[in-house]
A and B are shown apart, each in its own frame.
Chain A
Amino acid sequence: MANIAAQRIKREFKEVIKSEEVAKCAIKVELVNDSYTELKGEIAGPPDTPYEGGTFVLEIKVPETYPFNPPKVRFMTKIWHPNISSVTGAICLDILKDQWAAAMTLRTVLLSLQALLSAAEPDDPQDAVVAKQYRENLEMFQITARHWTNVYAGGPHVNSDCDDKIRRLVDMGIEEHQARAALSSYNWDLERATEQLFS
């Protein structure tokens, strides 16, 4: 790994650990290997959002040309958000692409991602299905996002209605996550989700 990249990551790692956000348990980074090429990030779901109370794990890959190129970041925790793929966890955020600046740090990236969870940009979607729901049925979106946060990120809000519908599909032999994804995509309409799964 290039010298500058390693130096920078070492320094940034310390910066995050010492930062006040860590003290508030809002963000966290951990090393995955000794070479500083891969890190594990964590952000807390921001308050007053469907993600509140959840912890979201991020995969951070540091390229050879860091910090002249942005780190490659992806959500490991499944999340229901217009700018994040519900399938792969890929993120659509300008600072991770063309708006990256060499003077930015891991801390700024994590804080920006947290800000993205607070304020989605449905006009620049990564997941078209989620973005459509966000625009057309905000309440349904919030129910779904909160349910996903509960199931995958340890959020506190259990939604028994969602759980029941998923169980009915699981009883028909559908895998749990597949059932959840189908129901989420069809505004929790059991009939249409079933139709799609068996078509």
Chain B
Amino acid sequence: MEEIMTTSQGCESDMDCSDNECYEDYYNINDDSDIEQVDPRKVDPEYFEFKCLYEEEVDRLLNETVETLSNILHIPPSLAKVLLHGHQWNIEEVTRKYHDNPSNTLITSKIEPVTTHSNIIMGRYMCCPVCVMPHPVDKFHSLTCGHLFCRDCWTMHFEVQINQGISTGIACMARECDVLAPEDFVLRHLTRPNMREKYQQFSFQDHVKSHPELRFCPGPNCSIVVHGREIKAKRAICTQCKTTFCFKCGCDYHAPTDCQVIKKWLTKCADDSETANYISAHTKDCPKCHICIEKNGGCNHMQCYNCKHDFCWMCLGDWKSHGSEYYECSRYRENPNIAHESVHAQAREALKKYLHYYERWENHSKSLKLEEQTLGKLRSRINQKVMSGLGTWIDWQYLFTAANLLAKCRYTLQYTYPYAYYMDAGPRKELFEYQQAQLEAEIENLSWKIERAETTDRGDLENQMDIAEKRRTTLLKDFLDV
């Protein structure tokens, strides 16, 4: 009976157990027949299997790998660890290399020396070449290379290296000898508890960094390590601090743009931002009545408070032309005669092209921030509504869901601009910009509707949410290539 209790998660305490079992079965049958099992890998282009691990879990994972290799090759775990660290924790590769040529593998992994140093020991004392002091012979230790040094010098050597942040890469003290000191050898010589702790902390970091399936969460002061099954530029979300990042490069998530391109783009933006900032001012004039307008929300569908003219913040064109199925604002139109123009004109054109994409990139980034503020306003508006008897707090929750979805969509839209900037002209770019325009139009619609939601009637908004999300996934499905 107790067994059943634990497997049927969260059953009501008052229920009879046999009843409970019946419900369970009833729901289970239902589950199987009703919900079609779809492979999320095929449906969701952003699908990514990962786990957030605590330090102990990572330790366990690494130790299991070390133990497996140590058993396969019949070598001590500390050596298995050095081998794995040098081979990106790829057991198959290490095993294959080791079986092909064991001694060569140990030499290239800096576990064994090319030639072993032989010592001629006479008498009970010898002089340590580092501290130049005589010590009893039994105080001397060496790595596999045979270079003997006294115990105290080894300890000092390790402490100096650890204080410089070196751990897995500490080599022998002899000249031109690069045999690495394995963990057990180092720990045997470290007596001070804080040094042992530092060493273990640094080598843990080294091991995680050398493991392609592991990545430290980039969140501030977060110690979570994300374990991804595949090494791809996919979105990982830390369960602890909620930081969202690209698993491959550890930077802000950037789909559909890939890691190299986003890096190039961000460097470019950092270099050129002064010019761009100067050019894209924070205010614009209404194209109809020329009153100065400051943008106070995330939506790019502007309505002048003075003359009620509807226009697009980005291109200052009439909003009506944007509402149709072909949203043109996101597309950059290249000057077709550019090849015949002067270098000067070409440079101006290049800047113009960059600014086109940069302004949109920057604008969506700003919109994202503004929409965060909108969320606050939303909360107070809902409070007012609830107080005046217009629905309950729960009735209004859908607005928050909508706002979250909006943020997600706008985020992807922002990252489509660097992608488009670096794309070669052609039908594929045309398709991309078409889809981008579609997404942009739906996002602006959604943003407009969220900012002006006055009723608990959620049908229209939910419909809009669905459309926006569909556009987003369609674009990612076609262009997210990781």
A-side residues, CB < 8 A to B, are: 4, 7-8, 11, 65, 67-69, 101-104, 108
Given A103-B149, A103-B173, A103-B174, list of 8 further CB < 8 A pairs?
A4-B153, A65-B160, A68-B161, A69-B160, A101-B177, A102-B130, A102-B153, A102-B157
**Contact bitstring B122-146, A, C-beta under 8 A = 1, else 0:** 0000000111110000000000000
Chain B residue contacts of A8, Cβ below 8 A: 130-132
Cβ of B271 under 8 Å from chain A: no
In whole angstroms, how far apart are the Cα atoms of A11 and B134 in the complex?
13
Chain A residue contacts of B133, Cβ below 8 A: 7
Chain B residue contacts of A11, Cβ below 8 A: 132
By the criterion CB–CB under 8 Å, are A7 and B175 in contact?
no
Contact of B131 among A4, A101, A108 (CB under 8 A): A4
**Contact bitstring B98-140, A, C-beta under 8 A = 1, else 0:** 0000000000000000000000000000000111110000000
How many of chain B's residues touch chain A, expressed as a range? 10 to 19
B-side residues, CB < 8 A to A, are: 129-133, 147, 149, 153, 156-157, 160-161, 171-177
In whole angstroms, how far apart are the Cα atoms of A69 and B160 in the complex?
8
In the complex, how many residue pairs between chain A and chain B have their CB atoms under 8 Å apart?
41
**15 A-B pairs (CB sep. < 8 Å):** A4-B156, A7-B131, A7-B132, A8-B130, A68-B156, A68-B161, A69-B160, A101-B174, A101-B176, A102-B130, A102-B153, A102-B157, A103-B149, A103-B173, A104-B175
B160 CB to nearest chain A CB (Å):
4
Chain A residue contacts of B157, Cβ below 8 A: 68, 102
Interface SS of A by simple majority:
loop
Chain A residue contacts of B129, Cβ below 8 A: 103
Nearest 3 pairs of A and B residues by beta carbon? A102-B173, A68-B160, A11-B132
By the criterion CB–CB under 8 Å, are B132 and A101 in contact?
no
By the criterion CB–CB under 8 Å, are A101 and B173 in contact?
yes
In whole angstroms, how far apart are the Cα atoms of A6 and B161 in the complex?
20
In whole angstroms, how far apart are the Cα atoms of A49 and B130 in the complex?
34
Chain A residue contacts of B175, Cβ below 8 A: 101, 103-104, 108
A170 CB to nearest chain B CB (Å):
42
In whole angstroms, how far apart are the Cα atoms of A102 and B177 in the complex?
11
Chain B residue contacts of A108, Cβ below 8 A: 175
In whole angstroms, how far apart are the Cα atoms of A8 and B173 in the complex?
15
By the criterion CB–CB under 8 Å, are A103 and B160 in contact?
no
What residue of chain B has the Cβ atom nearest to residue A108's Cβ? B175
* Residue among A4, A68, A102 with most chain B CB within 10 A: A102
What residue of chain B has the Cβ atom nearest to residue A67's Cβ? B130
Chain B residue contacts of A101, Cβ below 8 A: 171-177
By the criterion CB–CB under 8 Å, are B147 and A103 in contact?
yes
Chain A residue contacts of B153, Cβ below 8 A: 4, 102
In whole angstroms, how far apart are the Cα atoms of A104 and B161 in the complex?
16
What residue of chain A has the Cβ atom nearest to residue B174's Cβ? A103
In whole angstroms, how far apart are the Cα atoms of A65 and B130 in the complex?
12
